[in-house]
Amino acid sequence: DVVMTQSPLSLPVTLGQPASISCRSSQSLVYSDGNTHFSWLQQRPGQSPRRLIYGISNRDSGVPDRFSGSGSGTDFTLKISRVEAEDVGVYYCMQYIDWPHTFGQGTKLEIK
Amino acid sequence: EVQVVESGGGLVQPGGSLRLSCATSRFTFSTCWMSWVRQVLGRGPEWVAHISPDGSGKYYVDSVKGRTTISRDNAKSSLYLQMNSLRVEDTAVYYCVGFCSGGNYWGQGSLVTVSS
């Protein structure tokens, strides 16, 4: 299985400050068509996961532009330009190039 | 607004069976890959099963292979998961998830508890 490794696992952030989460995959996530099969998801307390970004840097509908994704191949980053209270939760990276699709361990973002 | 609603969860004894259903609306179900993803309380999600838009392609995580069947009814915009020979370690919230060109849709989840 493709192993997804996130860091940090805990991320205390001051409101209004930036935040960054890294994810590394155990193999390239670039598919034969050139697309990268990678996503970031957010899970707020008590809610279902919600996809934020797919294909490295494409935001889903309704996702604020303070969220951005970057990276290539096996190394990816999620950045939040200015953290807001509603951003509290656990963030997961996910690959869907190979079955089973797999998630990272999760990064818990909290407000300092 | 897109709707994804799971049902059929509950308490079942080890070795028992359960059928989860997922009713969807307001997206083009028949063109989407659909999945069941489960999550143990306090842990990360885990993919369980995945089915192609026409139902011809099915994928299962090793831990449920042989005990679980994913199916869909495109006429009813519904997804199903038949789980047999349930184990204590199958206890989790089960989410129905749609992967479509227009977006990615998650339900609120259905709790399955396997316990004697």
Pair of tokens at residue A43: 């899970």
CB–CB of B46 and A50 under 8 A? no
Which chain B residues are closer than 8 Å to A101 by Cβ? 35, 47, 50
Cross-chain residue pair A48–B104, CB shorter than 8 Å = no
Q: How confident is the model at residue A106 (pLDDT cuts 50, 70, 90)?
A: very high
pLDDT at A1: 93
Mapping DSSP to helix (H, G, I), strand (E, B) and coil, where does residue A87 land? helix
* Alpha helix segments (H runs only) across A14-77: none
Confirm or reject contact between B103 and chain A (CB < 8 A): yes
Whether residues B44 and A51 touch (CB distance < 8 A) is answered with no
The secondary structure of B76-100, three-state, reads CCEEEEEECCCCHHHCEEEEEEEEE
Q: Does B47 touch chain A (CB under 8 A)?
A: yes
Chain B hits for A96, CB-CB cut-off 8 Å, are 99
* Cα dihedral: A110, B4, B6, B7 (round 10): 140
Residues of A in contact with B35 (CB under 8 A): 101
Instruction: Give the rounded percent of residues in chain A with a pLDDT score beyond 70.
Output: 100
Residues A28-82: tens digit of each pLDDT: 999 999 999 999 999 999 999 999 999 999 999 999 999 999 999 999 999 999 9
Sign of the four-CA dihedral A112, A44, A69, B48: positive
- Percent of chain A at pLDDT > 90 equals 100
